[in-house]
């Protein structure tokens, strides 16, 4: 009897809630929002958002132990290098944007590595290469991540590096359960690089790569991280680790050597920005592709996107055409600014956008822009962001490129070296032409938003050439379409592929527009009528993490990607 009454009471509550929802336009539950998978996370003291819940918890533990946002970001990155080696690790590169709350300044760090001195255009020409291979010893550039950690730590760190790396070391020794997304990427990476020396010994100790739920250990990486924590960054670039990398690469016929590692250093840079409808959106200057997001936003500011409506063919067409224009400039101009005079101020200016915008036809897709090779559409990466109780915020992105990288797994060090040098052009007239000591064009980009001189949002979206497109979409979703921080990342995305590339290849057929499944049939048919070619709906749409500061209430909002395994959490 009591059970029947309880069931009846619950039914009345549910019915009542439904009635309120139907009669009150202000009634709003998360499941009823058009674009939300869940509500935003809100916390008063600190926040972390990463692509792995265990890494998020590591970041929070570091913060609770008195660490800074930078300390927590490094700890989370080290943990992700263990738990998501399919996208990042100490064999790769790093970029970061940091808000220093005490100094009230926004600073950037370019921790990308350079080409080995022996990596010259003549080398590849003499050997008959038409492009740099994607895997093996030849595309390996200097890994910049470890130096990036120590540069960040030297300026903003509070805890000892040994303590910061301790959680990742413990998980590497004791093991962790592999998540479903990473288990899937392990399989695809095994198929393409599993045959290289050292891979199976590190990542297939039981005869195969780990599967979903399987406990995986990497004691080799634990030893490497322990040595770095105890002896510092020089252990990686000038010590025993560097010597072992040198020996391995020599055995494999690679170009990277000890002298290249010893000469490496990161570079502090000034973020660049554009104002989009009152928000100052910041990116890092080239050799990365961040300013493409600023160019896209400048082009789109000339349109009433809110009136077009999210999901409309008119909006998607305009976004795609703006992307094509920005990516033509990306292909022609973006390169290492130590070697090339990149006209950044012109490219991100409003006047330049006004001039370029005239090339967009409101009713027809452009198909005659020169374009081609889609290799830059690849890009498994991790993005994370952390904010601490003092108001410091870190936007950090880190990657090996092409999933696990080159396949070069040196000795028993427990990680794979990146293959970022694949992105050099082999055309002597190209801005991004390969050269010894030059940084290759880079896809990974962190982002930051300021408003009225105050920090607002630290965010990023991993995923190759999807990144600047997604950065623009996140900002547009919030400003033009009124979405909150979580909705802006959950909303269906558009990914245009096939634009001209910084490797020298060009677009000839307008490329392909990939739409996630929730876009309507009506929208798809309208886009096709405009001349757009539509691709599949299961392509690369990126991975989003974000933190927003609410100055009025003194709280942080966090959001994490529904398409990944991630978590935003605070305290």
Residue 5 has pLDDT above 70, yes or no: no
Region 326-348: mean pLDDT is 93
User: What is the structure's pLDDT at 15?
Assistant: 31
Region 83-105: mean pLDDT is 97
pLDDT class for 290, splitting at 50, 70, 90? very high
Residue 547 has pLDDT above 80, yes or no: yes
User: What is the structure's pLDDT at 368?
Assistant: 62
- What residues have CB less than 8 Å from 86, skipping those under 6 apart? 182, 185, 186, 189, 380, 403, 404
How far is 446 from 450, CA to CA, in rounded Å?
14
User: What is the structure's pLDDT at 539?
Assistant: 66
- What residues have CB less than 8 Å from 534, skipping those under 6 apart? 512, 513, 514, 515, 524, 527, 528
Residue 21 has pLDDT above 90, yes or no: no
Task: Give per-residue pLDDT as tens, 430-472.
Answer: 999 999 999 999 999 999 999 999 999 999 999 889 999 999 9
Residue from 529, 492, 527 nearest 513 by CA: 527
Residue 380 has pLDDT above 90, yes or no: no
User: What is the structure's pLDDT at 464?
Assistant: 85
Helices (H), ranges, 37-107: 53-64, 69-83
Region 509-535: mean pLDDT is 95
User: What is the structure's pLDDT at 72?
Assistant: 98
- Say whether 381 is catalytic: yes
User: What is the structure's pLDDT at 369?
Assistant: 54
User: What is the structure's pLDDT at 508?
Assistant: 73
User: What is the structure's pLDDT at 8?
Assistant: 33
Residue 19 has pLDDT above 80, yes or no: no
Q: What is the residue whose two structure tokens read 């730590």? A: 153
Residue 27 has pLDDT above 90, yes or no: no
Region 252-262: mean pLDDT is 98
pLDDT class for 246, splitting at 50, 70, 90? very high
User: What is the structure's pLDDT at 503?
Assistant: 83
- What residues have CB less than 8 Å from 503, skipping those under 6 apart? 131, 373, 375, 376, 423, 424, 425, 426, 432, 441
% pLDDT > 70, the chain: 92
Residue 11 has pLDDT above 60, yes or no: no
Domains and CATH numbers, the chain: 41-272+376-493+542-564 (3.60.20.40)
User: What is the structure's pLDDT at 33?
Assistant: 61
Angle, helix 313-333 to helix 290-300, in steps of 10 degrees? 140
| Mean per-residue pLDDT over the chain, rounded | 91
* 392 and 98 Cβ atoms separated by less than 8 Å: yes
Residue 12 has pLDDT above 80, yes or no: no
User: What is the structure's pLDDT at 504?
Assistant: 76
The sign of the torsion formed by the CA atoms of 188, 494, 94, 258 equals positive
Identified catalytic residue from 145, 224, 381, 409: 381
The sign of the torsion formed by the CA atoms of 55, 59, 62, 68 equals positive
Residue 91 has pLDDT above 90, yes or no: yes
Between strands 272-276 and 93-100, the pairing is unpaired
Q: What is the CA radius of gyration of the chain?
A: 24
Residue 24 has pLDDT above 60, yes or no: no
Task: Give per-residue pLDDT as tens, 44-60.
Answer: 999 999 999 999 999 99
How far is 294 from 356, CA to CA, in rounded Å?
14
% pLDDT > 90, the chain: 85
- Name the percent of the chain in helix, strand, coil, to the closest 5: 40, 20, 45
Q: What is the pTM of this model?
A: 0.92
Residue 4 has pLDDT above 50, yes or no: no
Region 285-314: mean pLDDT is 97
Region 85-114: mean pLDDT is 97
Region 90-108: mean pLDDT is 98
User: What is the structure's pLDDT at 505?
Assistant: 76
User: What is the structure's pLDDT at 262?
Assistant: 98
Residue 410 backbone phi and psi in degrees, to 5? -65, 120
How far is 194 from 409, CA to CA, in rounded Å?
10
Measure Cα distances from 318 to 353, 391, 480 in Å: 14, 37, 14
Task: Give per-residue pLDDT as tens, 102-127.
Answer: 999 999 999 999 999 999 999 999 99
The sign of the torsion formed by the CA atoms of 557, 562, 564, 565 equals positive
Element (H, E) at 469: helix 466-479
pLDDT class for 196, splitting at 50, 70, 90? very high
Q: Looking at residue 440, what DSSP letter applies? A: P
Q: Looking at residue 235, what DSSP letter applies? A: H
Region 196-204: mean pLDDT is 97
* 416 and 405 Cβ atoms separated by less than 8 Å: yes
């Amino acid at each position: 009897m009591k059970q029947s009454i309880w069931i009846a009471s619950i039914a009345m509550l549910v019915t009542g809630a439904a009635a309120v929802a139907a009669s009150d336009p202000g009634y709003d539950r998360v499941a009823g929002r058009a674009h939300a998978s869940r509500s935003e996370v809100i916390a008063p003291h600190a926040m972390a958002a990463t692509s792995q819940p265990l890494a998020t918890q590591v970041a929070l533990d570091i913060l609770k132990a008195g660490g800074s946002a930078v300390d927590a970001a490094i700890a989370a990155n080290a943990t992700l290098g263990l738990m998501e080696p399919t996208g990042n690790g100490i064999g790769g590169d790093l970029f970061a944007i940091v808000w220093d709350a005490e100094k009230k300044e926004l600073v950037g760090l370019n921790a990308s590595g350079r080409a080995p001195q022996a990596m010259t255009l003549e080398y590849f020409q003499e050997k008959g290469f038409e492009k740099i291979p994607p895997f093996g010893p030849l595309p390996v550039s200097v890994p910049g991540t470890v130096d990036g950690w120590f540069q960040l730590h030297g300026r903003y760190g509070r805890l000892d590096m040994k303590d910061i790396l301790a959680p990742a070391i413990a998980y590497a020794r004791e093991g962790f359960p592999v998540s479903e997304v990473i288990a899937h990427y392990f399989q695809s990476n095994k198929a393409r690089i599993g045959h290289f020396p050292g891979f199976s010994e590190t990542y297939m100790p039981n005869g195969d790569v780990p599967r979903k739920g399987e406990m995986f250990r990497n004691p080799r990486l634990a030893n490497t991280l322990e040595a770095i924590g105890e002896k510092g960054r020089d252990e990686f670039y000038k010590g025993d680790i560097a010597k072992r990398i040198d020996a391995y690469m020599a055995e494999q016929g690679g170009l990277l050597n000890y002298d290249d590692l010893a000469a490496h250093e990161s570079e502090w840079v000034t973020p660049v920005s554009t104002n989009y409808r009152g928000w100052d959106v910041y990116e890092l200057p080239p050799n990365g592709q961040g300013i493409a997001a600023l160019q896209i936003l400048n082009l789109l500011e000339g349109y009433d996107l809110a009136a077009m409506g999210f999901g409309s063919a008119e909006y998607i067409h305009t976004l795609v055409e703006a992307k094509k224009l920005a990516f033509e400039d990306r292909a022609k101009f973006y390169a290492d600014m130590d070697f090339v005079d990149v006209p950044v101020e012109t490219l991100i200016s409003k006047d330049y956008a006004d001039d370029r915008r005239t090339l967009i036809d409101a009713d027809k897709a452009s198909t005659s822009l020169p374009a081609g090779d889609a290799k830059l559409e690849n890009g498994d990466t991790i993005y994370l962001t952390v904010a601490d109780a003092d108001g410091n915020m870190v936007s950090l992105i880190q990657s090996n490129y092409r999933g696990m990288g080159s396949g070069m797994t040196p000795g028993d060090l427990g990680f794979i070296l990146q293959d970022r040098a694949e992105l050099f052009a082999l055309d002597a007239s190209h801005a991004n032409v390969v050269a010894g000591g030059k940084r290759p064009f880079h896809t990974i980009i962190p982002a930051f938003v300021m408003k009225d001189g105050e920090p607002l949002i630290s965010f990023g979206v991993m995923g190759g050439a999807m990144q600047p497109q997604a950065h623009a979409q996140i900002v547009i979703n919030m400003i033009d379409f009124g979405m909150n921080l979580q909705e802006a990342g959950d909303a269906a995305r558009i990914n245009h592929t096939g634009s001209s590339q910084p490797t020298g290849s060009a677009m000839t057929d307008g490329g392909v527009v990939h739409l996630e499944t929730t876009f309507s049939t009506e929208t798809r048919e309208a886009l096709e009528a405009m001349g757009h070619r539509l691709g599949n709906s299961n392509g690369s749409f990126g991975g989003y993490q974000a933190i927003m500061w609410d100055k009025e209430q003194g709280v942080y909002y966090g959001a994490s990607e529904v398409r990944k395994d991630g978590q935003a959490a605070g305290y």
